[in-house]
Amino acid sequence: MDLKIYLKDQAALVDAALDRYLPGADTLPEKLHQAMRYSVMAGGKRIRPILVLAACRAVGGREELALPAACALEMIHTYSLIHDDLPAMDDDDFRRGRPTNHKVYGEATAILAGDALLTEAFELLCDRALNREVPAETLLRVSNIIARCAGSTGMVGGQVVDMESEGKDIDFPTVEYIHTRKTGALMLASVQCGALLGGADEQAFAALTRYGSAAGLAFQVADDILNLVSDSQTLGKTAGSDAVRGKATYPALIGLEASRDRARELKDLALDAIAPLGGPAEPLRAIARFIIERSS
């Protein structure tokens, strides 16, 4: 398969759905909805929603049934970026090559736009009309998994420990704690939810869980490497910023080459896990390889 074309097509599908699901820019209060759209529609790789769709397909499910959940995960990811960029947090001026949300709309609106996106995600997930064909029990399980992975022992927890660790000497288990939660948790949730919405049996769900854990961690290791070796233009944000801030990263702790080894090892783990799923899992395989290749 041509991964480039696949990713582009799937991202277009997700973009169109996000545009449909988000309240219009002329919905009151207009400034809030414009701020929400500004960050969601800023592009980005749409890796999480694409993982949802690919996991759904890998177990023989219909991708369109997973589209609302896919968009919900992208909204949650976007809210976390808006809040991470705030002056009280990472204080970033640029994201995806554009001024950050609070730079354009002000800090208060940026906080509230993030809050609203997080809330909108669950409105979408629990919207019965939108998810007519999905069993109610499945929708509840999907929503619960997403909330757990995004919450205080998942993504938000990872962000807290990341902040606390800045400029400190931290050990390897702490870096893994941060990475499995800050980025890994939501990517695992994406794969698990796609699997459930596709009607995965227990064995396939377990296989995809192993894939999601490994691929999610690999993605963050690759991101660490990219932040170190890439230039700001390619990155769309300030390159080398992790090192300047004394951020807890893989390369800082175990070096660049060992980090690349670890990323490759995680990719292999991910591929092994889904070997039994055969042909329909091909997109998931291509994505796992792509994650690593970005940084090698």
Q: Which residues bind its own copies (CB under 8 A)?
A: 23, 27-29, 31-33, 36, 79-80, 83, 86, 88-89, 106-109, 111-112, 114-116, 118-120, 122-123, 125-128, 135-137, 139-141, 143-144, 147-148, 150-153, 156-157, 159-161, 163-164, 177
Cα(190)–Cα(49) distance, rounded to whole angstroms?
7
Per-residue b or e along 117-153, where b marks 16 or more CB atoms closer than 10 Å to that residue's CB: bbebbbebbbeeebbeebeeebbeebbebbbebbeee
Smaller CB separation from its own copies, 159 or 227: 159
Minimum separation from the CB atom of position 146 to its own copies (A): 8
250 with 262: CB under 8 angstroms? yes
Give every CB contact of residue 240 below 8 A, 6+ residues apart in sequence. Answer: 227, 228
Minimum separation from the CB atom of position 127 to its own copies (A): 6
Smaller CB separation from its own copies, 25 or 286: 25
Smaller CB separation from its own copies, 11 or 161: 161
Minimum separation from the CB atom of position 252 to its own copies (A): 20
Minimum separation from the CB atom of position 143 to its own copies (A): 4
Smaller CB separation from its own copies, 154 or 283: 154
Smaller CB separation from its own copies, 129 or 244: 129
241 with 266: CB under 8 angstroms? no
Minimum separation from the CB atom of position 215 to its own copies (A): 23
